[in-house]
Amino acid sequence: MAFFKKLSYALGFLCLLFLGGIVFLIIKLKHTRTLQQTPIDFSLTSQEEKVAELMIDNKSNKEIASELFISLNTVKTHIRNLYAKLEVSNRTEFMEKFKNHPRD
């Protein structure tokens, strides 16, 4: 009889652990989805927005300069500012972050 009592306690404990794990995963999933859907305000200037959109369209720096009627150095400055604001260090990271985050 003592064996069955201990077994029932052990099974009850395992059920609580299992349910606690499920609740934890549900809360974590909900939190992750909320973070992914939260708009991010990158505080970009209108010119930085234009440069960013052209970068997303896979335009080269030279093509961006030509399309916006600005110098290549100005494009590079805008890109450097974009990288700083988005906290990235290269074009690939920029594309990933800019494409996958909703903006205001």
Question: How many helices (H) does the chain have, and how many strands (E)?
Answer: 5, 0
Who's near 47: CB < 8 A, 6+ residues apart?
Answer: 68, 70, 78
DSSP letters for 65-90: HHHHT--HHHHHHHHHHHHHHHT-SS
Q: What is the pLDDT of residues 18-43, one digit of tens each?
A: 777 777 777 877 766 655 555 567 78
Nearest 5°: phi and psi at 42? -80, -10
pLDDT of residue 48: 93
CATH 3.40.50.300 assigned to domain 46-100? The reply is no
pLDDT higher than 80, residue 104: no
**DSSP β-bridge partners for residue 40:** 103
Q: What is the pLDDT of residues 54-102, one digit of tens each?
A: 999 999 999 999 999 999 999 999 999 999 998 999 999 998 887 776 6
pLDDT of residue 39: 53
pLDDT of residue 75: 95
pLDDT of residue 37: 52
